[in-house]
Structure 1
Amino acid sequence: MRLRHIEIFQAILQTGSVTGAASLLNVSQPAASKALQHAEAQLGFALFKRVRGQLLPTPEARILEPSTARVFEELQRARRLAGGLRQHNARSLRIAATPSLAQSLLPKVIPRWMKRFPGVPYELATHHTPKLVENLLLHESDLALTLQDPKHAGLSMRPLAKGHMVVIAPPEHWPTHELNEALDIQELGGEPLLALDTRDALGSLLDHHLSETPKPPQVIARVQTWLLARSLVAEGMGLAVVDPLTAYGPGPLIQVRALRPMLPVNLCALTRPDQGTSDVLDGLLEELGNEAANLMR
């Protein structure tokens, strides 16, 4: 099978029709039909049978599908890489960050950075850390900001600021005089808690510490972003343990207390080793580090 045949085959599997496949691949319907016919002629067997107006894969096609899916995925990856390289040559600085950093940190830093380097084109995007890593490797971004070091051999990590996790609560949950006192993690016992997804490294670390307390908190929900946890806390849904950038960033009024024992959290800047450096990038990292250090103290 040629690559074009694999594209048509996978597109029909996804859409259930030649018309849908043609639309997905941005080709004409006759061209898609011809490519399917050519593929079946080369293979010597039918790939689809028509049932009630829909194309369903034949037994042979189902056997073939896993292998072609891997090839199709690699083809898409190669196209993304080529697109990333093309965008990189346009000299626009492409910045990606986790959702909480995009809301709490970038709006404060970007205006100051632009005053230092006026006219520099830039792009902003938000993703979770695994996607940040993937986009960097595919040259779809130039800088990624995250609160966890993925320890990827193909990337460089530069620490920008250090801090510790904090506990947040709805307004007036604690007496005012207690806000300057650290909350022992055991005091979360029995409390309704909005916990971070354990697939997140920091969420897993917190779960480990909570599991060692005599009385664990009552986990009422697990969320994928600290921003969502913060919003739910502000609505009185419970407590949450989050990073200080999320806690002290923009959003509805909440209460914040330090946590004991201290659980470290670091702001990391990820780049590719082959990128080199520039005054523009160094200036942005300097501004990010200064702002984060103020918020994470």
Structure 2
Amino acid sequence: MRLRHIEVFHAIMQVGTISGAAQVLHISQPAVTKVLQHAELQLGMPLFERVRGKLYPKPEAHRLFAETEKLHRDLQGIRRLAATLKSRAGETVRLVSTPTIAISVLPAALTAWRRDYAQTRCELATFHTSEIVNALRLGEADLALSLQDPRHPGIEAEPIAQGFLTVMAPSGTWSEAECRQPVTPHALTGELIGLADGDPLGELVVAACEDQDVHPVFHTVVQTYQIARSLVEAGAGTAVLDPFTAASAASAKVQCRLWAPQIPVQLYLLTASHAPLSHGARELANCIGAAARSLLDKGSHEHQRVDPA
């Protein structure tokens, strides 16, 4: 028996008539009769006795009905699941991000995404890039965000926003004219806040300085870009940071200038090569890219303002 045969047979057994089954299934009576006749033809035996236009189930029909009842319950469960998926209530998007992006970009991105995905569950965790790769490979995350391309054969890295390495100092450090010019290694002065050994951006800064025979001294070294930003906002020194952290700083407390030579910094969307994104996850990625680009645009305008003092 085909699934359509079983569906019609089950409806007839439940309501007892062809007309009732047609109403339950939202089809015509001739269609119900035709499907039932085809089912009996394939089975090679009648399932009902027809007496004066009424149907009376044969013993074989009762035995068959007991089995189709189990299938009917399963089909109802499938329909409920399909309805849930359609409404997005059952979908979970698992996102992992480096702390920098989680703090600077994701609040605005998730707010925008929630307008269309109010019922979709989102699980957000913060990892370092090496941990992100493992989470994606093991299927523990659907998508991830990092400022690094891990260059792993099992990971797809898609650039979704780009800025440039930025020098951030306490408000009032530079004149308006100076703010319009990039900062070279030779122009780094005052208390410098460094990034921990092994940090990719920190290594880029040190390498650029050494190329120009400049050897910066960092009396304060931090593990995260957020701590460096907070120290600059508090007036504790100057730091060279990624553009997303710099753009999210309080514009009244800091000034920002591009680093020279100019060094691009990409925001990468990371996914496992074998696992395509769901519609909800892809829309979240789109919102993240838009929020990141908007943040950079906003930051470039706000941090150009200079404290007249």
TM score, norm. by length of structure 1: 0.65
What 5-or-longer segments of structure 2 have no aligned partner?
A: 1-89, 298-309
Q: What's the CA shift string for 1:155-195, capped at 9, x where partnerless?
A: 1111101111100001211123322221223211x532212
Q: How many residues align?
A: 207
Which residue number in structure 2 is paired with residue 25 of structure 1? none
Which residue number in structure 1 is paired with residue 240 of structure 2? 241
The answer as to whether partners of 1:160 and 1:289 remain within 8 angstroms in 2 is: yes
Could you say if the C-alpha distance between residues 280 and 193 of structure 1 is closer, same or farther in structure 2, counting changes exceeding 3 Å? same
The answer as to whether partners of 2:165 and 2:263 remain within 8 angstroms in 1 is: yes
The answer as to whether partners of 1:103 and 1:250 remain within 8 angstroms in 2 is: no
In 2, the alpha carbon distance for the partners of 1:236 and 1:164 equals 23
> Which structure 2 residues correspond to residues 1-20 of structure 1 after superposition, within 5 A?
none
Q: Classify the secondary structure of the residue corresponding to 1:261.
A: coil
How far off is 1:275 after superposition?
Answer: 1.4
In 2, the alpha carbon distance for the partners of 1:277 and 1:143 equals 8
In 2, the alpha carbon distance for the partners of 1:204 and 1:250 equals 22
The answer as to whether partners of 2:168 and 2:240 remain within 8 angstroms in 1 is: yes
Give the letter for the 1:249 counterpart: S
- Aligned-pair Cα RMSD in Å: 1.8
The answer as to whether partners of 1:148 and 1:202 remain within 8 angstroms in 2 is: no
> Is 1:226 matched up with 2:230?
no
> Is 1:201 matched up with 2:200?
yes
In 1, the alpha carbon distance for the partners of 2:123 and 2:197 equals 30
> Which structure 2 residues correspond to residues 138-217 of structure 1 after superposition, within 5 A?
138-188=138-188, 190-217=189-216
In 1, the alpha carbon distance for the partners of 2:150 and 2:221 equals 22
In 2, the alpha carbon distance for the partners of 1:108 and 1:160 equals 15
Which residue number in structure 2 is paired with residue 281 of structure 1? 281
In 1, the alpha carbon distance for the partners of 2:211 and 2:281 equals 42
In 2, the alpha carbon distance for the partners of 1:250 and 1:229 equals 11
What 5-or-longer segments of structure 1 have no aligned partner?
A: 1-89
Give the letter for the 2:289 counterpart: G
Q: Classify the secondary structure of the residue corresponding to 2:159.
A: strand
Which residue number in structure 2 is paired with residue 130 of structure 1? 130
Give the letter for the 2:296 counterpart: M
Q: Classify the secondary structure of the residue corresponding to 1:203.
A: helix
> Which structure 2 residues correspond to residues 255-294 of structure 1 after superposition, within 5 A?
255-294=255-294
How far off is 1:137 after superposition?
Answer: 1.9
Give the letter for the 1:229 counterpart: A
How far off is 1:250 after superposition?
Answer: 4.7
In 1, the alpha carbon distance for the partners of 2:286 and 2:110 equals 11
In 2, the alpha carbon distance for the partners of 1:254 and 1:295 equals 16
Q: Classify the secondary structure of the residue corresponding to 2:259.
A: strand
Q: Classify the secondary structure of the residue corresponding to 2:193.
A: strand
Q: What's the CA shift string for 1:27-48, capped at 9, x where partnerless?
A: xxxxxxxxxxxxxxxxxxxxxx
Q: Classify the secondary structure of the residue corresponding to 1:255.
A: strand
How far off is 1:139 after superposition?
Answer: 2.0
In 2, the alpha carbon distance for the partners of 1:218 and 1:273 equals 42
How far off is 1:287 after superposition?
Answer: 1.3
In 1, the alpha carbon distance for the partners of 2:180 and 2:295 equals 16
Q: Classify the secondary structure of the residue corresponding to 2:218.
A: strand
In 2, the alpha carbon distance for the partners of 1:271 and 1:106 equals 17
TM score, norm. by length of structure 2: 0.63
Q: Classify the secondary structure of the residue corresponding to 2:274.
A: helix
Give the letter for the 2:127 counterpart: H
Give the letter for the 2:237 counterpart: G
How far off is 1:277 after superposition?
Answer: 2.6
Give the letter for the 1:193 counterpart: L
Report sequence identity in percent.
35
In 2, the alpha carbon distance for the partners of 1:193 and 1:152 equals 34
Could you say if the C-alpha distance between residues 183 and 140 of structure 1 is closer, same or farther in structure 2, counting changes exceeding 3 Å? same
The answer as to whether partners of 2:233 and 2:249 remain within 8 angstroms in 1 is: no
Shifted more, 127-136 versus 152-161: the winner is 127-136
In 2, the alpha carbon distance for the partners of 1:136 and 1:117 equals 23
Which residue number in structure 1 is paired with residue 47 of structure 2? none
How far off is 1:258 after superposition?
Answer: 1.2
Which residue number in structure 2 is paired with residue 6 of structure 1? none
How far off is 1:199 after superposition?
Answer: 1.2
Q: Classify the secondary structure of the residue corresponding to 1:96.
A: strand
Q: Classify the secondary structure of the residue corresponding to 1:116.
A: coil
Q: Classify the secondary structure of the residue corresponding to 1:275.
A: coil
